[in-house]
Amino acid sequence: DAKTTQPNSMESNEEEPVHLPCNHSTISGTDYIHWYRQLPSQGPEYVIHGLTSNVNNRMASLAIAEDRKSSTLILHRATLRDAAVYYCILRDNNDMRFGAGTRLTVKP
Amino acid sequence: DAGVIQSPRHEVTEMGQEVTLRCKPISGHDYLFWYRQTMMRGLELLIYFNNNVPIDDSGMPEDRFSAKMPNASFSTLKIQPSEPRDSAVYFCASSYGGLNTEAFFGQGTRLTVV
């Protein structure tokens, strides 16, 4: 029951911004939007999450559409270490289910 | 805190043997999640606990899989008997609180059943 849709893959150049999109047209009013990423050979790691307002932290920014049916994870300056699979997840109860994610490739 | 600790990091076993994977969550966390990751199926939620109580085990593939959380600092995932198709990386994660909090993942256990 995939509730989010992400592109399979994206490419970016090093030191350029990256915008990773996520569609969640069936989102409900109580769903939180979470982003995780998984670097090669590691467990997933938390990036950011939000409910309605845009959010910023040291890793990234999360832009949430006004109707909440889509969101965008923004990496302001991609580095080679940002190459990973990025997962957009809706949490409407306390479980946490992952989709296929977007594989980000960063070119030097 | 050392983070979520899983053991062993690697396990190779023969088909039919019992396998036990272990997880120590971050102290004070009240949610614990078990995942399985394969190339074909991605990252699948198997089961999660809240305050040591299993809440949703709908992702457990079959009766050969069982999970327990005898106390707040320890959980096990057991496969008996193991089969080659159980080969995967198994992750454990913990969080304090539910949907408005971040979860922390362990490094995973790579299981190979031959």
User: Does residue B23 contact residue B76 with C-beta atoms inside 8 Å?
Assistant: yes
End-to-end CA distance of chain A: 37
A11 pLDDT exceeds 50?
yes
Would an 8 Å CB–CB cutoff place B105 in contact with chain A?
yes
- Confidence at residue A1, expressed as pLDDT on a 0 to 100 scale: 45
Test mutation, A95, A98, A102, A103, chain B, max B CBs within 10 A: A95
Average pLDDT for residues A37-56, to the nearest whole number? 95
pLDDT band, very low/low/confident/very high, at A89 (cuts 50, 70, 90): very high
- Cβ of B99 within 8 Å of Cβ of A91? The answer is yes
User: Does residue B76 contact residue B92 with C-beta atoms inside 8 Å?
Assistant: no
A6 pLDDT exceeds 50?
yes
- Cβ of B55 within 8 Å of Cβ of A96? The answer is no
- Residue B61 to chain A, least CA–CA distance (Å): 15
Structure tokens at A37: 């990423």
Which CA distances in Å does B30 have to A20, A44, A94, B97? 31, 19, 11, 6
| Interatomic CA distance for residues A53 and B29, integer angstroms | 26
Would an 8 Å CB–CB cutoff place B25 in contact with chain A?
no
Percent of chain B exceeding pLDDT 70 equals 99
Average pLDDT for residues B6-18, to the nearest whole number? 98
**pLDDT (tens digit, 9 = 90+) per residue, A64-78?**
999 999 999 999 999
- Confidence at residue A49, expressed as pLDDT on a 0 to 100 scale: 95
Short-list B87, B88, B109, B113, CA closest to B15 = B113
Which CA distances in Å does A94 have to A55, A91, B15? 21, 7, 34
- Confidence at residue A2, expressed as pLDDT on a 0 to 100 scale: 45
Would an 8 Å CB–CB cutoff place B10 in contact with chain A?
no
**pLDDT (tens digit, 9 = 90+) per residue, B37-86?**
999 999 999 999 999 999 999 999 889 999 999 999 999 999 999 999 99
